[in-house]
Amino acid sequence: MKYAIVVALSVVLVGSILFLDSHLYGSSGPTQRSGKLYIVGSTSVLPLVQVSGEVWNSHQDDITVSVIGSGTGVGIKSISSGIADIAMASREVKSEEVEIYGDNFKKFPIAIDAICVSVSPDVYEGGVREISGHQLFAIYNGEIDSWGELGGPDETITVVAREVGSGTRDLFNEVVMGRVDHDTPGADSYRYSEAEVWATIASGRGVVGYLSLNRARDGEIRALAYEGVLPSAETVRDGSYPLARTLYMYTWGELDDDERAFLEFVTGEKGQAIAGEMGFVPVR
């Protein structure tokens, strides 16, 4: 069953790349795209860049920004191959990606975020308000399968994880599971995007998953304190929340004028104000 899930996810990732290639270039391959910016990648970064792009597009007509969520890994591959102009990433480029694609990536921090361990309302209302790293490891490792073992309702834990290629998955695995490539045998399903994780938690019972602060602050799901610290803009800013991470935009090679203009907007006063309003922590 787990093998089938991995195969399905591989098909989704390949399909995303083919879709991007067709959507951005048609059948003729990469061409000059003056006046248009195509941005792809992390679904954690997607809400911030999407809103920033909408504001940008509504205030000028010279450069049109299009944003597609495809996962950090796909975004990084897309800029290196010329399929996209800018990648959204919820982690830094890996050394193995540099080995495969080359060392021509340019990194731009755009916000700081928290990975929030979140549960469906029945779990929270049933008494589970916080979780330790050891407990979370045991859940995702298949060693704890009932909320009753954690002082909550006597119901089965439904465990949601992210798919291979997700930057959020990589950091969660590194910090909680001990290494990036650690399996999560306790997971019942793997979701392609943060929106899907949110929907699974919000509509289910006994569900636990992990996603960005921007989505977790929604009242329809509940974020748990992790290692005794609640995720918030304040605890991310002061460094006390253990699952904080920087969000990035990447380009390939030297910036052209269009890329520079939009990146200056996102990292400037107006873009950083948007980040703060959406629940992210500005980088400046």
> Is residue 284 in a domain?
no
Same-domain pairing of 222 and 130: yes
Same-domain pairing of 156 and 226: yes
Same-domain pairing of 166 and 261: no
The total number of structural domains that make up the chain: 2
| Amino acid identity at 183 | D
Same-domain pairing of 220 and 273: no
> Is residue 242 in a domain?
no
Mean pLDDT taken over the chain: 90
The tens digit of pLDDT for each residue in 157-167 reads 999 999 999 99
Same-domain pairing of 253 and 226: no
Of all residues in the chain, the percent with pLDDT exceeding 90 is 86
Closest among 213, 185, 191 to 204, alpha carbons compared: 191
| pLDDT at res. 34 | 64
Q: Which domain holds residue 41?
A: 2-113+247-277
Instruction: For residue 130, give both structure tokens.
Output: 């916080």
Same-domain pairing of 87 and 124: no
pLDDT value at 48 more than 90: yes
Query: Do 76 and 13 contact (CB within 8 A), yes or no?
Result: no
Mean pLDDT, range 226-234, rounded to an integer: 97
The tens digit of pLDDT for each residue in 175-203 reads 999 999 999 999 999 999 999 999 999 99
User: Where does the pLDDT of residue 21 fall: very low under 50, low under 70, confident under 90, or very high at 90 and above?
Assistant: very low
Same-domain pairing of 254 and 145: no
pTM, to two decimals: 0.85
> Is residue 8 in a domain?
yes
Same-domain pairing of 221 and 194: yes
In order, the DSSP letters of 69-91 are E--HHHHHHHHHTTS-SEEEESS
pLDDT value at 16 more than 90: no
Same-domain pairing of 71 and 132: no
How far apart are the two ends of the chain, measured CA to CA in Å?
Answer: 46
Same-domain pairing of 223 and 266: no
pLDDT value at 28 more than 70: no
pLDDT value at 223 more than 60: yes
Q: How far apart are CA 268 and CA 284, in angstroms?
A: 8
> Is residue 122 in a domain?
yes
User: Where does the pLDDT of residue 11 fall: very low under 50, low under 70, confident under 90, or very high at 90 and above?
Assistant: very low
Mean pLDDT, range 119-138, rounded to an integer: 98
Same-domain pairing of 118 and 231: yes
> Is residue 282 in a domain?
no
| pLDDT at res. 33 | 53
Same-domain pairing of 129 and 233: yes
| pLDDT at res. 51 | 97
Domain CATH for 122: 3.40.190.10
